[in-house]
Amino acid sequence: MDVFGLIGNPVEHSLSPPMHEAAYEALGLDARYVTFEPDADAGASAVAAAETLGVAGLNVTIPFKQDVLAAVEPDDLAARIGAVNTVDFSTTPPTGYNTDAAGTVRALRRHDVVLDGTAVVVGAGGAGRAVAFALADEGMTVEIANRTVERAHDLAADVPRATGHGLDDLPDLVPAADVLVNATSVGMGEDITPVPADLLHGDLAVLDAVYDPVETRLLRDAAAVGATTVDGVWMLLFQGVAALERWTGRDAPVEIMNEALRERL
């Protein structure tokens, strides 16, 4: 039996186990997906321990995405992002990937969004970094807006065709944008939005990385003006899909994984 898993702290509310185990059942794989909660300073040592124990693959979440870089050989994208969320133990040393980037692109393409023109990314934290690199690698111009403008400038310096801004620049950026991504936690568990509704327009595609609630205020406001909306569950789903396909070499049963994920929300 192959064992895959997730390291994070905390991990007790993770939605990854039911999503992955539904996929293993559909594919006829003798596999299990388990969660591990190392101490907050033990991410790299947890990866080394998992390798010793014969774990086939790991997902990595907060607060370990940067720490585990010391225990893996990151691929080019993960190295540029500066974070790993998927570890493949079939190589020596283990290879680290960032499937948050792939999750962003696949979620947008699932909704027929053309990744061309200008994207506004709100947030310059870990999710913002993955989203900004993903969209820039697709050829988009990326405008990064963050509460702390210095962080936006720092990220923009690393990302091709990117510029950093404060949130007060959103009135100039959003009306001219083709894609808008909320990569902050604003709206999680609260009926608030990081982008004023009057800035949104019908030619926009809006992805909100928040998935609790699934329909955020930002997405409701976007739908009201006729914009294409993509909820955060799709991003969560497709980062898991990309990880599973890395580990198994099989096409993931996307609809089955999506159903298992949404049943838990």
Amino acid at 232: G
Task: Kindly state the tokens that stand for 124.
Answer: 């310059």
Helix (H/G/I), strand (E/B), else coil: 145: strand
In angstroms, what CA-CA distances link 92 with 53, 142, 245?
15, 35, 19
Euclidean distance between CA atoms 4 and 17, whole angstroms: 9
Beta-carbon contacts of residue 138 (< 8 Å; ≥ 6 apart): 105, 115
DSSP annotation of 239 reads H
Residue from 33, 89, 138, 131 nearest 246 by CA: 89
Which residues belong to the active site? 65
The shares of helix, strand and coil residues in the chain, as percent rounded to the nearest 5, are: 45, 20, 35
**Beta bridge partners of residue 36, listed in sequence order:** 7
- Cβ neighbours of 113 (radius 10 Å): 18
174: tokens are: 């959003």
Reading the block at residue 197, the tokens are 């509704």
User: Is there a cis peptide before residue 10, judged by omega within 30 degrees of 0?
Assistant: yes
